[in-house]
């Protein structure tokens, strides 16, 4: 069974940093592209970042470019999101999601981890 489990969320002050992790199991992690997607309270989905299966290709949404860094460790079956210079508007549930093979769709999602940026 495919499982994605996020961790690392919490309360952080504006300007602070946080590192999210996503532990993958039930599939060959190194063969799949991955994404981070977030959802602010009561709002819609917002794509945050993409990383290819090898980690060689990376994309970011304009709203996080220069502040967030996506990475992965295929040996540990783990995806990461380093978030720096956090702002109140970064407050959201952060989901990691797997890309459906040969498409751009997201076929498996984790349960999400809440990040709250507040003083």
Partner 1 sequence: SYELTQPPSVSVSPGQTARITCSGDALPKQYAYWYQQKPGQAPVLVIYKDSERPSGIPERFSGSSSGTTVTLTISGVQAEDEADYYCQSADSSGTYPRVFGGGTKLTVL
**Contact code string over 11-40 relative to partner 1, x by CB under 8 A:** ------------------------x-x---
To 5 degrees, how large is the angle CA 70–CA 71–CA 72?
140
If one asks whether residue 59 binds partner 1 (CB under 8 A), the answer comes out as yes
If one asks whether residue 5 binds partner 1 (CB under 8 A), the answer comes out as no
Instruction: Candidates 83, 106, 115, 117: give the one binding partner 1 (CB under 8 A).
Output: 106
Pairing outcome for strands 18-25 and 78-83: antiparallel
If one asks whether residue 62 binds partner 1 (CB under 8 A), the answer comes out as yes
Structure tokens at 87: 């702002």
Structure tokens at 109: 């999602």
């Amino acid at each position: 069974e495919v499982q994605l489990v996020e961790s690392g969320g919490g309360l952080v002050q504006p300007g602070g940093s946080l590192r999210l992790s996503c532990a993958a199991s039930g599939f060959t992690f190194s063969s799949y592209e991955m994404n981070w997607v977030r959802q602010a309270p009561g709002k819609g989905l917002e794509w945050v970042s993409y990383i290819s299966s090898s980690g060689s290709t990376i994309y970011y949404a304009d709203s996080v470019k220069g502040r967030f860094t996506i990475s992965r460790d295929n040996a540990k079956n783990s995806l990461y999101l380093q978030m720096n210079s956090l702002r109140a508007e970064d407050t959201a549930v952060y989901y990691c999601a797997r890309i459906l093979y040969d498409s751009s769709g997201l076929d498996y999602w984790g349960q999400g981890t809440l990040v709250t940026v507040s003083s």
